[in-house]
Copies of this chain bind each other. A is one copy, B any other.
Amino acid sequence: MSAKLTHQDDDGRIRMVDVGDKDETTRRAVATGRITMSQTAYQAIRDGQGPKGDALKTAELAGIMAAKKTSDLIPLCHPLPITQAKVAISASDEISGFIIRAEVSTRGRTGVEMEALTAVSVTALTIYDMAKALDKSMRISDIVLEEKTGGKSGDYQRDD
């Protein structure tokens, strides 16, 4: 017998889970991901960090703004008043690409895992958009939840 999905009621019908009885506590989530690409595209984006460039800053900002749209994108996700969001991109010569890390917090009745994961995804897509004239074979990978605190289900820390 398979485990039960929380988004299905006893009739198997999809619903938005009721979180009205949960406490309003401080909740925080961190997610990461990466995008890898050709050396040419990688260097162009990385150098876009220089005095006048802003490719990575554009992508970080896109991620922050996407965190605020999460409940509009994910059908059964609850709307949440985000209290904090930040996205950091690190260039990595080793993987010829970029590591993305997003952190989101709220005071609310449900967690912000989806907000952090959405921020990482849209940050990666924005980098793709800006480099796609140079390389169409880029790969977005390893989008995972790193940690989560707050809420009744307890804290989570990814072990690698």
Q: Taking beta carbons and an 8 Å cutoff, which residues of A are in contact with B?
A: 2-9, 11-20, 26, 33, 40-41, 43-48, 50-55, 57-58, 60-62, 64-66, 68-69, 71-86, 88, 105-109, 113-114, 117-118, 121-122, 124-126, 128-134, 136-145, 148, 153, 156, 158
CA distance A125 to B79 in the complex (A): 16
CA distance A82 to B75 in the complex (A): 13
CA distance A60 to B158 in the complex (A): 28
A20: which of B4, B72, B106, B145 is its contact (CB, 8 Å)? B106
- On chain B, the residues within 8 Å of A130 by CB distance are 5-7, 76
* Contact A121 B137, beta carbon cutoff 8 Å: no
CA distance A10 to B20 in the complex (A): 36
Most buried by B among A76, A88, A131: A76
* Contact A86 B12, beta carbon cutoff 8 Å: no
* Contact B129 A76, beta carbon cutoff 8 Å: yes
- On chain B, the residues within 8 Å of A125 by CB distance are 73-74, 114, 117-118, 121
- On chain B, the residues within 8 Å of A134 by CB distance are 3, 5
